Amino acid sequence: MSQEVPKELRILVRSVLDLLGQCIHQEYGKSCFKTVERVRTDYKKSRSSTLAAKVKLNNKLLKQFRQLSQEERFDVTHSFATSLELINACENAFVLIS
């Protein structure tokens, strides 16, 4: 039930996320940026995984998040949530102009 995402939307999202990545790196540092990227790529890879594999990934990430300070957890989760908001904004804008 996977639907092909239009090339223009993929380019828009990639550009926006690249800019966000630069902001994360500048504001929160390299460590936060790397953590956000790792979480993003782990979840992207798990899209076609089984439920058991997804649960295993969530548990692995939970362990890793517990090792971070409260401030680091906030920075990572804020960055990740912002990326999802930007993706949604891009999708909405794309639908409006299509």
What per-residue confidence (pLDDT) applies to 96? 82
Check residue 34 and give its pLDDT: 96
CA dist 13 and 45 (Å) reads 18
90's CB contacts (< 8 A; 6+ apart) are 9, 12, 13, 16
CB 6 within 8 A of CB 72: no
Burial label for 32, CB within 10 Å (0-12, 13-18, 19+), is: buried
Identify the pLDDT of residue 2.
Answer: 53
Helices and strands (H and E) in the chain: how many: 4, 0
Query: pLDDT tens, position by position, for the chain (98 residues)?
Result: 457 889 999 999 999 999 999 999 999 999 999 999 999 999 999 999 999 999 999 999 999 999 999 999 999 999 999 999 999 999 999 888 87
